[in-house]
Amino acid sequence: MTYTCITLASPVGELKLVAKGSRLAAILWENDKPGRVRLGPMSEAPDNEVLQRTAQQLGEYFAGTRQTFELELDFAGTEFQKKVWMALLTIPFGETRSYSQIAAQIGNPSAVRAVGAANGRNPISIVAPCHRVIGASGQLTGFAGGLEAKQTLLSLESQTPRLPGF
């Protein structure tokens, strides 16, 4: 199946929203590494309903009026990756978890590095909040959108003042 996409300007840079049928398949960063998320051919689809709904909900999130997303998701990855990505969806708005906490949550406490690798390949950034996963020491660690974007998202969720223009 062909993927459809639109581009969205945001406080963390330009985002490419990607759908597969009626489900959100990816939110890609402006400077995403090629191959981080493997998708098929894409075509622009400004009228795609799920992409429009995603753009609206992201706008509400950046405006500080939305804490959860109501979208059907299409995660494409290994079974292990999908377990990690589903665990991301359980992290409450404004909270963080460590990689070891996610590993324990999915029943594989020794898989901390594998959880980190899966987190890094999360195709649906922001909605599946990989930005909420931090190092055990509390330090911000790698993020596909860059550490500045990660800090911006975490600050937004910690009830700091709203970002200008949103």
Active site residues: 130
CA–CA dist 161, 164 (Å, integer): 9
Task: For residue 93, give the nearest of 66, 111, 67 by alpha carbon.
Answer: 67
Beta strand 23-29 pairing with 15-20: antiparallel
Give the SS3 label for residue 6: strand
Between 112-120 and 79-88, two packed helices, what is the crossing angle to 10 degrees? 80
